[in-house]
Amino acid sequence: MEETILRTSKRVLIVAVALVSLVCFGLAFAQLGRKGCLADKGDVMQRDEMRGRMFDRLVEKLGLTEEQAEQLKATFKEHHQAMMELRDSLRDVLRAIREELAKEAPDESLLASLIAQADPIRERMKAEQDAFKVKLDEFKAGLTVTQQAKFLLFEARMHCRMGGPGGRGPGWDKAPDEAPAEPCPFMP
């Protein structure tokens, strides 16, 4: 019986980490706008405000102490800043690729050089995501089982709301703790 509970707990934790990474990946790219991949200042402010509300809901739902909330906020902020810097670097490279491809006769050696610049940035983004997952795991390990369960549900709702990595799924216009407009495959 204990062995089954441990296996189930491990699965729940693995799924939670996967969902958090998907949600965070989507949030990290949420700053990218629809017009030319650049968000205007109003969009950025609106998304920052939305992120703040979501964080406040998470803190409330989990019943985090002020110390826990500050620790989690610092983790999210550090990750967000690192991803913003990497995303900006990648966006510059992609912009240069787009400009070169728009020419009648694109310079293949320049394109190869730009591609070579993009790959390490993408690898650093992946490494940052992995490091963020580890930090979240460490944070969640300090939570009660009830808080961990609530965190898992919050992540699942966010995943449905975001429609997976970077997308908008059913119920994207609802608060993350509200039921989505359509059933979510990740929710019972």
Q: Where are the alpha helices (DSSP H) in the chain?
A: 2-28, 41-62, 66-101, 108-141, 145-162
Question: 3-10: long-range contacts at Cβ-Cβ below 8 A with a sequence spacing of 24 or more?
Answer: none
Q: Amino acid letter at 57? A: R
- 3-state DSSP call for residue 107? coil
- Which pLDDT value is given to residue 1? 65
Residues near 178 by Cβ (< 8 Å), separated by ≥ 6? 157, 171
Query: 64, 72 in Cβ contact below 8 A?
Result: yes
Q: Amino acid letter at 67? A: E
Q: Which is nearest to 80 in space by CA: 35, 129, 122, 120?
A: 129
Q: Would you kindly state where each structural domain of the chain is located, as residue ranges? A: 2-162
- Which pLDDT value is given to residue 154? 83
Give, as one character, the DSSP assignment of residue 95. H
Query: 76, 55 in Cβ contact below 8 A?
Result: yes
Per-residue confidence in pLDDT tens, the chain, 188 aa? 666 665 666 565 454 444 444 445 454 444 444 334 444 455 666 767 777 888 888 888 889 889 999 998 999 899 989 999 999 999 999 999 999 999 999 999 999 999 999 999 999 999 999 999 899 889 999 999 999 998 888 878 777 766 554 444 444 444 545 544 555 555 55
Give, as one character, the DSSP assignment of residue 167. -
pTM over 0.85: no
